[in-house]
Amino acid sequence: MDKRGRGLLQIHAAVLLFGLTGIFGKSIDLPARYITLGRVFFASVSMGLFFLVKKTDIRPKCRKDCAAMILTGALLAFHWSAFYASVQLSTVAIALLTFSAYPIFVTFIEPVMFSEKLKKADVAAAMIMFLGVLLIVPAFDIKNDMTAGLLWGIAGSAAFAAMSLVNRKFAKDYGGSIIAFYEQGSAALFLLPMLIFCRPAVSARDMGLLALLGILFTGVAHSLFIGGMKYVRAQTAGIIAGIESVYGIIFAALILNEIPTVRELTGGAVILGTALYTTMRSKSE
């Protein structure tokens, strides 16, 4: 197998692992923010040990970059906490599909952050995606758990959009795994104070699942994805990443018996189809 083939295999494996992370929200008997704490703690520790063994220089180039990455960790902590709250209140499908709609927020935030022109085609795509989200809404009532879960998913999606745009600035000077290490480590530091006020009982099973989520499904998966991108175009990797929701929905149906409704499938098709179209369009620009 050539380098590009191995790269594609690594990216597909990483996206498959990413797609399974939602299952942990239903499988671990802990509140969403504690699941997030376990995930970022084990991920950052495993990545830190990897850098130590490899003797990788991970020092930030300046204090400003270090402070910015730490603050971005707060966004990551909120994003994953909101994601798991969405999973627990609604379904894995709703959580993943609302996450996939993050380009809606990117469309309007990116031109402000990078002094770029807001394109009509991007606005149109964002509006179509928004219609896809509306199709998923089961009832316009925040007392409905499904709707509350969807709103948490949208909130997490907005946080991810902001985080991805900040990371765009870092990408020129740092490797993706180094950025992830600092953000996951700082997310853990932001969440650790929760243990002062409340220490939920954690079973050996839950602790094992948290370690698996952090080490394999986050640390290893991220390393596979970044490693694969050395030999695969970013646009191709982005298209493959869009399959994450599909993997997640399929495994949620098989493992949790969460069968998505026709509305969810229709809304998901609109969201993912629009994301695929805009990715392909940007490829030709």
pLDDT of residue 77: 95
Q: For the chain, which residues make up each domain, given as ranges?
A: 3-284
**Are residues 142 and 151 in contact, defined by beta-carbon separation less than 8 angstroms?**
yes
Residue type for position 258: E
Query: What rounded mean pLDDT belongs to the chain?
Result: 85
Which residue's structure tokens are 């020092």?
59
pLDDT in tens, the chain (285 residues): 677 788 888 888 888 998 899 999 999 999 999 999 999 999 999 999 988 998 888 888 888 888 888 889 999 999 999 999 999 999 998 898 888 888 888 888 878 777 777 778 878 888 888 888 888 877 766 778 888 999 999 999 999 888 888 877 776 777 778 888 998 999 999 999 999 888 898 999 999 999 999 999 998 888 888 778 777 766 566 667 778 888 888 889 899 998 888 888 888 888 888 877 776 665 555
The verdict on pTM exceeding 0.85 is: yes
DSSP character at residue 133: H
Angstrom distance (rounded) from CA 170 to CA 1: 32
- Residue 201 three-state SS: coil
Q: Which DSSP helix (H) or strand (E) runs through 6?
A: helix 3-19
Residue type for position 54: K
